[in-house]
């Protein structure tokens, strides 16, 4: 392989990794997988665990599906994809239950719902079925990080404004409270998540001058 | 008993709305709420599928998967509950497929209305989510029936009102970049606030 081709290949992998984090962010641009994104963002801790679980599931299942992409018959591919994805979700859920029981209780059904998360299915259909395993893995990691970054951004805003904390540590100083500052309890409720994510998507659209798209 | 069932129904339609309080089924909610007729069609399909799969998954969970559920074939120590994710999604996919075949066979009109939405529903998180919540909240069989139906009604209520609001929004003049999804999310947030107010009413 010539040097140029090698460079191109490396750039390609980097592009596959970076695209889903910003310009093709699964949540903000493609509007996939918001279902679970909102429910776990009351605290940064749960959001981080959810983001890592998601990254693990999407990258491993993309890798696996891409590995078998030539063996999977076309008309039963959906059920094959679902079983691969469910296997990794079960692994994640059992792992969390064994080592992080409290967080697993807080995440409740949302780890299980990774199965029906459109991102995982979407990447399997749109990318893993037509690309080699290592690229599919990178694509999965990129999408997991893209998803995670939005989750963490929403969780950061909600936890900071809603309970004055950051990863469970108090960051709003006591004298502010004694001066009459109060936490915005609204931030901990469901509607706040919708509104924050709406504002974040708006921000990204304005920054990428993408406002006319998806009208 | 009846009071409890009414409570579960009202809770799943209003205060514990599967979409507005637990964010499930957002993907199809945002994508399909552009047109009010398709929203109604999808809403009915969701009610239909939820009222069948939730009790069905209850039976499967309590007779096959739950800890000690296999006592009836003499295996009281077996705990297969970790299989619930894969089992539930398989049941949902199979039921959706079966419903599609049945209504295609017996009612062309119903198929034209619901048929196109059924494949979409198999991967709707609201369906799997309701089954998982049913396990987590320890519902009885009758309760799971009511809960499945109520969640479907709540979801339909949300998507139809959203579709109606979006028709009005077409004539609005939002700031640059706000059109489409960002506006839809913020409107959903406001709707969620309205639905939360029902929790102030004691039934």
> Does B186 sit within 8 Å of A194, measured CB to CB?
yes
pLDDT of B202: 52
Spatial separation of the C-alpha atoms in residues A110 and B55, rounded to whole Å: 20
Spatial separation of the C-alpha atoms in residues A101 and A95, rounded to whole Å: 9
**By residue range, what is the domain housing residue A180?**
26-206
pLDDT of A54: 92
How many structural domains is chain A composed of? 1
Is A195 inside a domain boundary?
yes
Is A168 inside a domain boundary?
yes
DSSP state of A170: E
Residues of B with CB under 8 A from a CB of A: 20-27, 30-31, 82-86, 89-90, 93, 123-125, 127-129, 132-133, 136, 176-186, 188-190, 192-193, 196
Spatial separation of the C-alpha atoms in residues B79 and B77, rounded to whole Å: 6
Question: If DSSP codes are grouped into helix, strand and coil, which group holds residue A166?
Answer: strand
Which residue intervals of A40-76 are DSSP H helices? 44-67
- Looking from the CA of B24 toward its CB, the CA atoms found within 13 Å total 32
pLDDT of B44: 87
pLDDT of A53: 93
Select the residue of A86, A190, A199 nearest B86 (Cβ to Cβ): A86
Angle between helices A44-67 and A77-99 (to 10 degrees): 140
Return the percentage of chain B with pLDDT > 90, whole number. Answer: 20
Is A212 inside a domain boundary?
no
**How long, in residues, is chain B?**
203
Is A46 inside a domain boundary?
yes
Rounded mean pLDDT of chain A?
84
Select the residue of A194, A211, A213 nearest B185 (Cβ to Cβ): A194
Question: pLDDT tens for residues A32-87?
Answer: 777 776 788 888 999 999 999 999 999 999 999 999 988 888 878 888 888 899 99
ipTM reported for the complex, 2 dp: 0.82
Q: In a 10 Å sphere around its CB, with 0-12 CB exposed, 13-18 middle and 19+ buried, how is residue A114 labelled?
A: buried
**B84: distance to nearest CA of chain A, Å?**
9
Question: pLDDT tens for residues B14-54?
Answer: 888 888 888 888 877 887 788 888 888 888 888 988 999 99
> Does B128 sit within 8 Å of A115, measured CB to CB?
yes
Chain B residue numbers touching A33 (CB-CB < 8 A):
27
Is A4 inside a domain boundary?
no
**pTM for the full model?**
0.84
pLDDT of A74: 81
Contact in structure between A142 and A18 (CB atoms under 8 Å): yes
Is A214 inside a domain boundary?
no
Is A10 inside a domain boundary?
no
Is A114 inside a domain boundary?
yes
pLDDT of A215: 40
């Amino acid at each position: 392989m010539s040097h140029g081709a090698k460079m191109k290949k490396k750039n390609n992998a980097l592009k596959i990794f970076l695209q889903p984090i910003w310009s093709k962010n699964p949540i903000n641009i493609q509007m996939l997988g918001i279902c679970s994104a909102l429910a776990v963002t009351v605290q940064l801790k749960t959001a981080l665990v959810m983001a890592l679980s998601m990254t693990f599931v999407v990258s491993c299942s993309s890798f696996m599906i891409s590995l078998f992409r030539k063996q999977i018959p076309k008309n039963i591919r959906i059920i094959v994809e679902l079983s691969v994805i469910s296997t990794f979700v079960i692994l994640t859920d059992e792992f969390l239950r064994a080592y992080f029981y409290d967080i697993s209780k807080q995440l409740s059904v949302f780890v299980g719902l990774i199965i029906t998360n459109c991102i995982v299915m979407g990447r399997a259909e749109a990318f893993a079925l037509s690309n080699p395993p290592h690229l599919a893995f990178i694509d999965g990691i990129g999408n997991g990080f893209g998803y995670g970054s939005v989750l963490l951004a929403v969780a950061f805003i909600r936890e900071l404004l809603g309970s004055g904390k950051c990863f469970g540590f108090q960051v709003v100083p006591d004298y502010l409270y004694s001066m009459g500052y109060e936490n915005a309890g609204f931030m901990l409720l469901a509607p706040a998540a919708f509104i924050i994510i709406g504002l974040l998507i708006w921000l990204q659209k304005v920054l990428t001058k993408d406002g006319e798209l998806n009208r | 008993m009846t009071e409890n069932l009414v409570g579960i129904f009202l809770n799943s339609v209003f205060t514990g709305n599967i979409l507005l309080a637990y964010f499930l089924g957002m993907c199809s909610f945002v994508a399909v709420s552009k047109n009010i007729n398709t929203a109604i069609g999808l809403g009915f399909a969701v009610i239909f599928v939820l009222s069948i799969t939730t009790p069905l998954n209850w039976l499967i969970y309590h007779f096959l998967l739950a800890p000690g559920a296999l006592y009836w074939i003499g295996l009281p120590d077996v705990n297969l509950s970790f299989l619930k994710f894969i089992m539930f999604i398989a049941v949902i996919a199979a039921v959706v497929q079966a419903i599609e075949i049945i209504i295609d066979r017996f009612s062309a009109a119903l198929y034209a209305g619901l048929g196109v939405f059924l494949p979409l529903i198999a991967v709707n998180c609201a369906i799997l989510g309701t089954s998982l919540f049913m396990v987590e909240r320890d519902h009885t069989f009758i309760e799971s029936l009511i809960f499945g139906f109520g969640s479907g009604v709540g979801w339909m209520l949300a998507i139809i009102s959203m579709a109606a609001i979006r028709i009005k929004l077409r004539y609005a003049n939002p700031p640059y970049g706000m059109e489409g999804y960002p506006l839809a999310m913020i409107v959903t947030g406001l709707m969620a606030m309205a639905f939360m107010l029902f929790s102030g009413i004691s039934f």
